[in-house]
Amino acid sequence: MYGFRVAEAQRRIDRTLVERYRELPVATVSDSMFRISSLGARIRPLHAGGTVLAGPALTVRTRPGDNLMIHKAIDVALPGDVIVVDAGGDLTNALVGELMLSYARTRGVAGFVLNGAVRDLKWIKSNDLPVYAAGVTHRGPYKDGPGEVNLPISVDGTVIEAGDLVLGDDDGVLVVPIDEAAALLERATEKHLAELRQVEAIRQGRNARGWVDETLRARGCEME
């Protein structure tokens, strides 16, 4: 029934691609996607810093303040899955906390991305299980449904399908569609290597800056 159903993921991002993406900064991948793909600036990392999130999306759509379908998602998750929740961005009730996150870890869940709120922030901040969320509140959730698991969802205008690549670091989180992942990996890797060369040039004091004035002149800027 539309709006209240659990499906099976038809495809999953290849594990080899997941591990290769894990070596790339989210900002570099984002730039390689023309800076247009985002799950929104509100969704921030809340866990202990330095942990990279990478894995196939297990999508959940739920009504605000209800986590019944998130419980189901944890039960059907495969090791390495990232549970991505569209809860409409409502922050009235927390969707997950220490108990659910602890159980999810035993299931091998790689992390959570929630367009909603969490609680037990002290526990989240002291653990390296990646948790990205839009807010924090002590108020607990309801467990009535409805919702959907492994069906397409949307967060801040970005459509996420089950099995897409979810990638996150301290700068935030984004999603790479399965069909774009291989080609995008090549572009992002090239950009990453170019940026490493630029960092080395800066360190050695030979970073070229002529492009700044060239751009200003090309745009008609008056300079004395």
Which segments are annotated as binding site?
97-100, 119-120
Cα separations in angstroms, 91 against 179, 197, 206: 33, 42, 48
Q: Give residues with Cβ within 8 angstroms of 8, minimum separation 6.
A: 150
Q: Give residues with Cβ within 8 angstroms of 76, minimum separation 6.
A: 6, 58, 149, 150
E strand or H helix at 167: strand 165-169
Q: What is the rounded distance in angstroms from the CA atom of residue 92 to the CA atom of residue 104?
A: 23
Structure tokens, 6? 């659990």
What are the residue ranges of helices labelled H in the chain?
15-21, 26-32, 68-76, 98-106, 121-125, 178-203, 210-218
Annotated binding site for Mg(2+): 120
Q: Cβ distance 98 to 125 under 8 Å?
A: no
Annotated binding site for substrate: 97-100, 119
Q: Give the type of residue at 181.
A: A
Q: Cβ distance 155 to 83 under 8 Å?
A: no
